[in-house]
Chains A and B, each alone.
Chain A
Amino acid sequence: MAQIFHRSTNTIARVSIYGAALIAFSAVYLLYIFAGSPYVTEVNMAKVQPVPFSHRHHAGELGIDCRYCHTSVEESSDAGIPPTQTCMTCHSQIWTGSPMLEPVRASYRDDQSIPWVRVNQVPDYVYFNHSIHINKGIGCTTCHGPVGDMPLTWQANSLQMGWCLDCHRAPQNFVRPRNQVFSVTYQTPSDQAELGPKLVKQYKIQSLTNCTTCHR
């Protein structure tokens, strides 16, 4: 009786056993890498804005406090996007003729908001509150990255749940003294291992990892 298959099929059959396992594992691994990649999370991708506002210039070089513009960050869930009037407190006096700032003046004249492009956003099913984080000693730059060095603003962290839990499971690694919360140049001190637990105790920080802490 003639053979149905060529003898090379034996080798192919053996290889395919390992091949299938390899393909299955690499597919899962690649998907995992993809899900955390900047292509999905948009981390480190500066957003084009209607006005090329530079946090490096305003917050870093000039040293304007975060709260000068983001006024509600200490009391509200939202940090707040400043209205054009906030810009005009200075820019009605300085750089009044700059063509770069024309959209700001136009917005002021026409009473139309500047359509800023949102950079950091959590999904609707996450109840994030800025004020509690600020008041418990979590600095702006802990989540938003080195804002004082950003010519255009980009998202510094993935904002994925795993990243949230890094801190919620171990807040002592990230907490800083309350008077340093708005510093854009703060560096984690070398004695964080001692300072962290002390501040956690002092500020009565709970490690909240219940589902309902964020998903209500």
Chain B
Amino acid sequence: MAAAPNPPVIEPGHTYASVTDKISSIVLTRKTPRGWYVGFGISFLLFMMFNYAVTYLLVKGVGIWGINIPVAWGFAIINFVWWIGIGHAGTLISAILLLLKQSWRTSINRFAEAMTLFAVACAGVFPLLHMGRPWLFYWLIPYPNTMFLWPQFRSPLVWDVFAVSTYATVSLLFWFVGLIPDLATMRDRARSRFVKVIYGFLAMGWRGSAVHWSRFEMASLLLAGLATPLVVSVHTVVSFDFAIALVPGWHTTIFPPYFVAGAIYSGFAMVLTLAIPMRKFYQLQDVITMRHLDNMAKVMLATGMVVAYGYIIEAFMSFYSGNTFEKFMTLNRWKGPYAFFYWCLIACNIAIPQMLWSKKVRSNVALLFVLALVINVGMWLERFVIVVTSLHRDFMPSAWGLYIPTRWDWAVYVGTIGFFLMLFFLFIRVLPAISIFELRTLVESEEAKPAS
């Protein structure tokens, strides 16, 4: 059976020079498109709203949020898990696909890693704010102190601190090291003295000698090796925040793998959400080709199936266990006050993404964009359902309650989306959003041609 040929990872006709020109001109010579100003402006306004909401929060305290007993973990934790999960696609693309020598990663890894960094920055905000007294955040870190006290190492919340800070550090290093050769290209192509100095400073004296390249390759591999376990470990630790607790619906062993799959699922959805507009507005269809979109859609489909398996096992186990509270928790998810969100989640994460089985859907860019948005929403709903439905009706009916987010909850959440997009707009404007030197390696490779 002759399968239809795969589209290439880079359209034919590119040379070393044309690749460099194309990517560096976005930053250095091409006029900034009007859409950039509009997008940046809107996200900047949202960021200002975020600052306003956070300032008010610091003045008034977390009482302005909808959290209370029994639901003390509201939006803050939902959003934290959501953002951290989104970051995972960047690490998967840059580390695991590098070690697996997947050449299609080269044109998406740079901005996917940037997305990881910005998502981790947004994620980090929430636990800090949720503490109520964020200025004492350093109590979470084991530092020499006058109390002669370490943090409670048996608490997964402390593991979180280590997991997330390690993740942020390694992601930043990996991203920056990968940028160095391109920063040198930018330095060499910049025209004004000021821009030359800035890129020159960041390029750290890169001259492209054989020694530099050999060390660079070694450093990249080592960092990829360091980052690979993080793809699995970070969200595992995040899932422990729930799984270590005894609350019905949280205390399950399926949480770590199901969280990791969910993280990659939502991460790829976010990469697509960013890549599809970017390739359109900057005419990058020849380097972010249909092959990339198709591959990412397939990864989403696969991880989405793992997530679906998680949902099924969760429901099955709550009945199979024979535990009254587990059983009630599941029935409460299906029929309780938050049932609408549960069924939306099933629709967004399981039902609708089944369309990705069809090649026609995967090659329809607009539809793919919509699907990515749907999955983003679905994964947010998943965290909402996990956090809220378990807490609001746990063991004692006398302690039951409802959780209703306030406008301040929404302001902080939407504000971080603004913050994330603002950083991304700045990134596209000042740094090469696609790895130039790695694209150049594709120009002559076999994989640039359509596979037969």
Asked if residues B148 and A5 are in contact (CB atoms below 8 Å), the reply is no
16 contacts across the A-B interface (CB closer than 8 A):
A4-B197, A5-B197, A13-B205, A28-B143, A32-B145, A36-B146, A158-B146, A160-B146, A160-B147, A161-B146, A162-B145, A162-B147, A162-B148, A165-B147, A165-B149, A166-B148
Contacts of A9 in B (CB 8 A): 205
Give 11 new A-B contacts, CB below 8 A, not counting A32-B146, A162-B148, A166-B148: A4-B196, A5-B205, A32-B143, A35-B145, A35-B146, A36-B146, A160-B147, A161-B149, A162-B147, A162-B149, A165-B149
A70 vs B108: C-alpha distance when bound (angstroms): 75
A160 vs B149: C-alpha distance when bound (angstroms): 11
| Closest A residue to B143 using CB positions | A28
Question: Which A28-57 residues sit within 8 Å CB-CB of chain B?
Answer: 28, 32, 35-36
B322 at the A interface (CB under 8 A): no
| A10-B205, A13-B205 known; A5 vs B200 contact (CB < 8 Å) | yes
| Closest A residue to B190 using CB positions | A4
A1 vs B188: C-alpha distance when bound (angstroms): 9
Contacts of B13 in A (CB 8 A): none
Question: Which B105-158 residues sit within 8 Å CB-CB of chain A?
Answer: 143-149
Chain B residues close to A by CB (< 8 Å): 143-149, 187-188, 196-197, 200, 204-205
Contact of A165 among B144, B148, B187 (CB under 8 A): B148
A35 vs B145: C-alpha distance when bound (angstroms): 8
A13 vs B205: C-alpha distance when bound (angstroms): 9
Query: Within the complex, what minimum Cβ distance (angstroms) separates B393 from chain A?
Result: 29
Contacts of B149 in A (CB 8 A): 161-162, 165
CB 8 Å contact bits of A162-196 with B (1 = contact, 0 = none): 10011000000000000000000000000000000
Contacts of B188 in A (CB 8 A): 1
A166 vs B145: C-alpha distance when bound (angstroms): 13
Q: How large is the interface on A (under 10, 10 to 19, 20 to 34, 35 or more residues)?
A: 10 to 19
A211 vs B54: C-alpha distance when bound (angstroms): 31
Asked if residues A13 and B204 are in contact (CB atoms below 8 Å), the reply is yes
A102 vs B230: C-alpha distance when bound (angstroms): 73
Query: Within the complex, what minimum Cβ distance (angstroms) separates B328 from chain A?
Result: 32
Asked if residues A161 and B147 are in contact (CB atoms below 8 Å), the reply is yes
Query: Within the complex, what minimum Cβ distance (angstroms) separates A13 from chain B?
Result: 7
Query: Within the complex, what minimum Cβ distance (angstroms) separates B354 from chain A?
Result: 51
Asked if residues A32 and B144 are in contact (CB atoms below 8 Å), the reply is yes
Contacts of B187 in A (CB 8 A): 4
Number of A-B pairs, beta carbon distance below 8 Å: 37
Instruction: Give the residue among B143, B144, B188, B196 with the most A Cβ atoms within 10 A.
Output: B144
A140 vs B145: C-alpha distance when bound (angstroms): 26
A160 vs B145: C-alpha distance when bound (angstroms): 10
Query: Within the complex, what minimum Cβ distance (angstroms) separates A164 from chain B?
Result: 9
Contacts of B205 in A (CB 8 A): 5, 9-10, 13
Query: Within the complex, what minimum Cβ distance (angstroms) separates B79 from chain A?
Result: 29
Contacts of A161 in B (CB 8 A): 146-149
| Closest A residue to B200 using CB positions | A4
Contacts of B197 in A (CB 8 A): 4-5
Contacts of A160 in B (CB 8 A): 146-147
A160 vs B144: C-alpha distance when bound (angstroms): 13
A141 vs B146: C-alpha distance when bound (angstroms): 22
Query: Within the complex, what minimum Cβ distance (angstroms) separates A174 from chain B?
Result: 15
CB 8 Å contact bits of A1-13 with B (1 = contact, 0 = none): 1001100011001
| Closest B residue to A160 using CB positions | B146
Instruction: Give the residue among A4, A158, A161, A166 with the most B Cβ atoms within 10 A.
Output: A4
Contacts of A165 in B (CB 8 A): 147-149
Query: Within the complex, what minimum Cβ distance (angstroms) separates B279 from chain A?
Result: 33
Query: Within the complex, what minimum Cβ distance (angstroms) separates A33 from chain B?
Result: 10
Contacts of A4 in B (CB 8 A): 187, 196-197, 200
Query: Within the complex, what minimum Cβ distance (angstroms) separates A86 from chain B?
Result: 35
A26 vs B200: C-alpha distance when bound (angstroms): 30
A148 vs B341: C-alpha distance when bound (angstroms): 71
A32 vs B146: C-alpha distance when bound (angstroms): 8
Contacts of A10 in B (CB 8 A): 205
Contacts of A32 in B (CB 8 A): 143-146
A35 vs B149: C-alpha distance when bound (angstroms): 15
A36 vs B145: C-alpha distance when bound (angstroms): 9
| Closest A residue to B203 using CB positions | A4
Query: Within the complex, what minimum Cβ distance (angstroms) separates B208 from chain A?
Result: 13
A37 vs B416: C-alpha distance when bound (angstroms): 41
Query: Within the complex, what minimum Cβ distance (angstroms) separates B32 from chain A?
Result: 25
A146 vs B143: C-alpha distance when bound (angstroms): 32
Question: Which A114-164 residues sit within 8 Å CB-CB of chain B?
Answer: 158, 160-162
The 5 closest A-B pairs by CB, nearest first: A162-B148, A161-B147, A160-B146, A4-B200, A165-B148
A35 vs B187: C-alpha distance when bound (angstroms): 45
Contacts of A28 in B (CB 8 A): 143-144
A1 vs B187: C-alpha distance when bound (angstroms): 12
Query: Within the complex, what minimum Cβ distance (angstroms) separates B206 from chain A?
Result: 12
| Closest B residue to A158 using CB positions | B146
Contacts of A158 in B (CB 8 A): 146
Query: Within the complex, what minimum Cβ distance (angstroms) separates A188 from chain B?
Result: 21
Query: Within the complex, what minimum Cβ distance (angstroms) separates B271 from chain A?
Result: 33
Contact of A162 among B143, B146, B200 (CB under 8 A): B146
A162 vs B187: C-alpha distance when bound (angstroms): 53
Contacts of B143 in A (CB 8 A): 28, 32
| Closest B residue to A5 using CB positions | B200
A167 vs B36: C-alpha distance when bound (angstroms): 63
| Closest B residue to A162 using CB positions | B148
| Closest B residue to A1 using CB positions | B188
A30 vs B148: C-alpha distance when bound (angstroms): 17
Instruction: Give the residue among B149, B188, B204 with the most A Cβ atoms within 10 A.
Output: B149
Contacts of A166 in B (CB 8 A): 148
Contacts of A35 in B (CB 8 A): 145-146
A208 vs B35: C-alpha distance when bound (angstroms): 64
A5 vs B187: C-alpha distance when bound (angstroms): 12
Query: Within the complex, what minimum Cβ distance (angstroms) separates B142 from chain A?
Result: 12
